[in-house]
Structure 1
C-alpha cells in the first residue's frame, strides 16, 4: 500500500526512515516509530519514544481535567438557570 502525503514544499518535516511518512513535529515522529516500528528501534529512539509518550500522557491528563471542570461549570450554570426560570 502506497500512501501519498500532501506536504507543502516549504514545510519542515521529519520523515520516518522505516516507512517514509512525514511528520510536522519530531515528537510525533518518535511516537509513530514507537507505535508502528517498535522492533526496529535503537536505544536512543526508544528513549525518545518514552519521553514523547510521557509528555503526551501528561498533556492528555491536563486536557481531561480541564474538560471535566468545564462540564461541571456548565452543568451547575444550567442547573442555576433552570432553578431561577
Structure 2
C-alpha cells in the first residue's frame, strides 16, 4: 500500500471536504476517507467502504457520500431534529 495516494479538497454548501485515498493496490482502491469540516470545526469522517476499480471511482464515491451527508444535515437542521445543531 502507498500512503497518501491521492488528495482532493473542495467546498460544498459552506462545508470544507478533504478526501484522502491511502490504499491503492494493483487490484484497486481499498482504503480512504473524507473529513468534513463546518465553521472551522471537524464534524464527520466518512470511511471508504468496499473496493473500487481505480482512484477516480473511489474519489467519486467519497465525494458523493460527502455531499449526501451535507444535504442530510441541512434537511435535519431545517426540521430541528439533528443532534448536531450548533447551539
What TM-score results when the alignment is normalised by the length of structure 2? 0.36
Structure with higher Rg: it is: 1
Structure (1 or 2) with the greater helix fraction:
1
The structure whose RCO (Cα within 8 Å, separation 6+) is larger is 2
Structure (1 or 2) with the greater strand fraction:
2
What TM-score results when the alignment is normalised by the length of structure 1? 0.37
